[in-house]
Chain A
């Protein structure tokens, strides 16, 4: 089975800190995604990547950036954490390539981030 590993399950950071959320997948998937999930708002796409060094903005990229230096690793960066970024962050990868949507996503276990 594909495994998507997120480095932290729970994280507490202070306002203004730079925060790194790491995600690693072990099945050589090209497509990787970062979502946040909030009650009543569902899953919202922050950034995604179809290949190494490639990134595209999702629906809510403001306040975030990403890095994909290696195929298996996709990092989400909160440049200056704010309280409204308190959320569950979910990384996902897909067997699909590019804009192909034939395959669903495999999600990591999530990082619950609290910004105080």
Chain B
């Protein structure tokens, strides 16, 4: 069974520090990788997508992909209290599979 694994957290990070969120996946044929942010009581919002090995930066967010290790990560620089949310990793081959998410708490 294809799986996407994330540490459920909570991950507590001081304001202004770098938050590092990790995800592993089981399907070596996966082609597309996504990070979603979900605030409590709200729906998931796509914040990053990455398709090839390496880093992809967008503002304070950097997605990292290592297909050989089947590992995806999301770095959030200069963490803000508004970054406190659950972050869902999603991995796609013929369909998108979501991880259960990591709760991130930014400490003011």
Contact = CB atoms under 8 A, between A and B. Distances in A.
Nearest to A9: B41
B17 interface: no
Interface string B39-77: 000111110010100000000000000000000000000
B46 A106 contact: yes
Contact of A102 (B32, B98, B101): B32
A54 to B, nearest CB: 15
How many A residues are at the interface, by size bracket? 10 to 19
B26 interface: no
How many B residues are at the interface, by size bracket? 20 to 34
B25 interface: no
B87 interface: no
Interface centre among B43, B44, B46 (most CB of A within 10 A): B43
Contacts of B49: 103-104
Contact of A104 (B46, B93, B95): B46
A54 B99 CA distance: 27
Contacts of A90: 43-44
B45 A101 contact: no
Given A104-B34, A104-B46, A108-B43, A99 B99 contact: no
Given A43-B88, A110-B42, A110-B43, A105 B32 contact: no
B46 A109 contact: no
Contact of A109 (B34, B42, B88): B42
B6 to A, nearest CB: 9
Contact of A99 (B34, B44, B94, B100): B94
Given A104-B49, A106-B46, 8 more contacts: A42-B101, A43-B44, A43-B88, A45-B95, A101-B92, A101-B94, A104-B90, A107-B44
